[in-house]
Amino acid sequence: MKVLITGGAGYVGTKLVKQLAAMEAVSKILVYDNLSRGNYNLFLGEPITNGHKITFIQGDILNSRLLRKTLEGVDVVYHLAAKVTTPFANTDPHFYEQINHWGTAELVYALEDSGVQQLIHLSSTSVYGSSEAEVNEQSPLNPRTFYGVAKMRAEEHVQRLVARDQAVIIRSGNVYGYSKSMRFDAVINKFVFETNFYNRITIQGSGRQCRAFIHVNDLVYNLAQLLNHPVPAGVYNMVAKNLSVLDIVDILKGLRPALEFLFVDQHLELRNITVDTDLKLAAFLPLAVPKQLRDELREFLATFSF
């Protein structure tokens, strides 16, 4: 099986490449990335087991000519390429529209003319916007950020492939946890970094705002399982925990009792979004069993070099 991963050198992609390389069913992995984040960690450190399967292609998702050429002979595409800049997801709409919306559109146009069997499109629970009630795949979409709007519009293009039984849309919760290609703008990763190096974390708003989360290891494991198990075309949420910011702070405070925290605009009640963790995907494939958050954060803190 020949697999293409757009955004394969990113936070999730770096781990997914390693996971797929270890699978016997995967004979070739094409990593397609423009390296816009300047992150070269996929290429460094200990050699990846079965690294001979991997080929890197430096290309932009908007480069339709290169994209179409790269798709030749590919069986499955994981579309991870995206602009993700939490917490600035509501600034500069053009920034998100170009990559997350129109980049996905270019990929779908190319896939419609290709022999690719399946697209696995990584979307986001941000398409739900905010809700006081727990949401699921049947809930209406109401994105509140430019990032969420662009992700929703991207899904509209992918739905053409869903209608042809050639795509699944995975709406991931907020991703956290160690990867060689780290993102430290996401809330848990940011808090863990600040805990380790500053012994002080900064909390925006009251801290009571809730989000849905999933550890990067669990996300990657679940994405890889999609290759081994037939899943009906459609939309699936992929989350593990619903947590408030204060839930996270409490656990970090337990791990590092001397930790200080500072509130900014504590009077503000920021939006909530919680997602049903009884996942529809569980009916079709074995999902990763999430660890306790305390154990995950303890392990995360242990990954820092000092």
Would you state the pLDDT for residue 92? 65
Is the omega angle on the peptide bond into residue 143 within 30 degrees of 0, that is, cis? Answer: no
In a domain, 260, yes or no: no
In a domain, 194, yes or no: no
pLDDT digit string, tens, across residues 82-105 = 988 655 445 567 778 888 999 999
Would you state the pLDDT for residue 90? 53
Q: Total domain count for the chain?
A: 1
The runs of H, that is alpha helices, within 40-198 are 64-70, 93-96, 104-112, 146-162, 187-197
Give the pLDDT band (50/70/90) at residue 267: confident
Average pLDDT value for residue range 62-69? 96
In a domain, 138, yes or no: yes
DSSP 10-70: SHHHHHHHHHHHT-TT--EEEEEE--TT---GGGSSSPPTTGGGEEEEE--TT-HHHHHHH
Q: Domain containing 63 — which CATH number?
A: 3.40.50.720
| Catalytic choice (78, 128, 147, 176) | 147
Q: Whole domain around residue 16: which residue ranges?
A: 2-174+212-240+275-288
In a domain, 258, yes or no: no
Would you state the pLDDT for residue 89? 47
pLDDT digit string, tens, across residues 168-196 = 999 999 999 999 999 998 999 999 999 99
In a domain, 248, yes or no: no
Average pLDDT value for residue range 10-38? 96
CA-wise closest residue to 235 among 172, 170, 160, 279: 170
147 is catalytic: yes
Query: Which residues, other chains included, contact 26 with Cβ-Cβ below 8 Å and sequence gap of 6+?
Result: 1, 3, 20, 53, 227
Would you state the pLDDT for residue 87? 52
Would you state the pLDDT for residue 176? 98
In a domain, 222, yes or no: yes
Is the pLDDT higher at 216 or at 131? Answer: 216
Residue 297 has pLDDT above 50, yes or no: yes
How many C-beta atoms surround the C-beta of residue 68 within 10 A?
16
Is the pLDDT higher at 90 or at 146? Answer: 146
Would you state the pLDDT for residue 86? 54
Would you state the pLDDT for residue 148? 92
In a domain, 264, yes or no: no
CA-wise closest residue to 250 among 306, 195, 197, 304: 195
Mean pLDDT of the chain: 94
In a domain, 62, yes or no: yes
Would you state the pLDDT for residue 85? 67
